[in-house]
Amino acid sequence: MSDRAAKPGTRRASPAAAFRHGVLDILPVLAAAAPIGLLWGTLAAARGFSPFQAWLTSATVFAGASQFVAVDMWRDPVPFVLIVFTTFVVNLRHLLMGASLQRHLDRFTGPGRLLAMFLLTDESWAFAERKALSEALRPAYYFGVASAMWLVWTSASLAGAMAGRSLGNPAAYGFDFAFSAMFIAILAGFWKGRRTAAVLAASAVGAALAKLALSGAWYIIVGGLAGVVVAALLHRDDEAAT
Amino acid sequence: MSDDLPTVATILAMAAATYLTRVGGLYLMRGVNVKGRLKAALDALPPAVLMALIAPTVLTTGPAETVAAAITASAAILRLPMIAVVAIGVGTVVALRAVL
């Protein structure tokens, strides 16, 4: 897929060509992101977000999973600390992606790096890492991938929020379960065998018990920490790294 | 809306917290060799948090949600596109809620 825009023998495409190349690579992901963004917009509108507020969230937070979690937790009055803290925890994975990606940002300027990280998503990170396997990561390519993602996500969210008010109660269509279904879909990508099963079991049991015992969304923190502790306990230094 | 300010303030704080996680990676691991037990713990963080997110819905809501989650997981394990997995999950839960 990554060679279809490059002519044979042309090693250095122009920045514009590299940018287009990035947009083409991310196109299939955009087709999936658009309906998810629409869905998020309708859910946000159902929780009282204006179209502008929904757009602002997608434009500045720009992290789907945490946006779904936040809207799910949204009530009146807004639980500010809980939502911001949970957003931070859900997005902690970016730390690892950034730590990995920074090895490939040699060609980026200082401000370019800061903008690149602002636009970092699971998807653009994956495409960037894949590109870096075979050649140096070019800023034009990365921004083609990442800015196309941003444009589609923000536009879809805005459209969903504008349409959402007339769609009625999302739960009536099972849309409430779309949260869980999407997280299950993402979760499958993290599967690495039996050890993952132990982590997930600890996390699920910890979260379910905490949900019954505590109010609010602290079950996310309790379950997440339970899984992390099990992963640390199961680790053995003498085995092959995976 | 009368309560625009708390909403917008929360959105912008979410954005700041998220940007911290994004830009932090550029500096976090500089000079630190993440390996061994620490790496195992950090690697487990995303799946552990995702599982914690869905556990109450999947385990404590009712049989329709639990069965629908199992079917959704099967679709995800088959590596179907995310939108297809979500459609299957939503369709299944609607059908199961009607019969269970």
Q: Which has the closest alpha carbon to A54: A68, A43, A44?
A: A44
**Could you state, in order of their start, the residue ranges of all structural domains in chain A?**
15-175, 191-242
Report the number of distinct structural domains present in chain B: 2
pLDDT of residue A166: 55
| B41 is a domain residue | no
Sign of the torsion angle spanned by Cα atoms A120, A126, A128, A133: positive
Same domain, B55 and B82: yes
pLDDT of residue A1: 43
The residue range of the domain holding B20 is 1-32
Omega before B63 within 30 of 0, i.e. cis? no
| CB pair distance less than 8 Å for B22 and A222 | no
CB A167 within 8 A of CB A72: no
Tell me the C-alpha distance between A227 and A225, whole Å. 5
CB A36 within 8 A of CB B83: yes
The CA–CA distances, whole Å, from A172 to A87, A104, A176 equal 27, 46, 8
User: Which chain B residues have a beta carbon less than 8 Å from that of A235?
Assistant: 36-37, 40-41
User: What is the ipTM for the molecules in this complex?
Assistant: 0.79
| B37 is a domain residue | no
| CB pair distance less than 8 Å for A65 and B52 | no
Residues 6+ apart with CB under 8 A from B45: A92, A93, A96, A224, A227, A228
Q: What is the pLDDT of residues A71-102, one digit of tens each?
A: 988 988 899 998 999 899 888 878 877 877 88
The CA–CA distances, whole Å, from A193 to A18, A159, A197, B38, B70 equal 37, 40, 7, 19, 18
Same domain, B52 and B96: yes
pLDDT of residue B79: 87
Q: What is the pLDDT of residues A40-75, one digit of tens each?
A: 999 899 899 999 999 999 999 999 889 998 998 898
pLDDT of residue A99: 76
Same domain, B13 and B52: no
In this model, does residue A8 exceed pLDDT 60?
Answer: no
In this model, does residue B41 exceed pLDDT 50?
Answer: yes
Q: Residue B69: which of A184, A207, A232 has the nearest Cβ?
A: A184
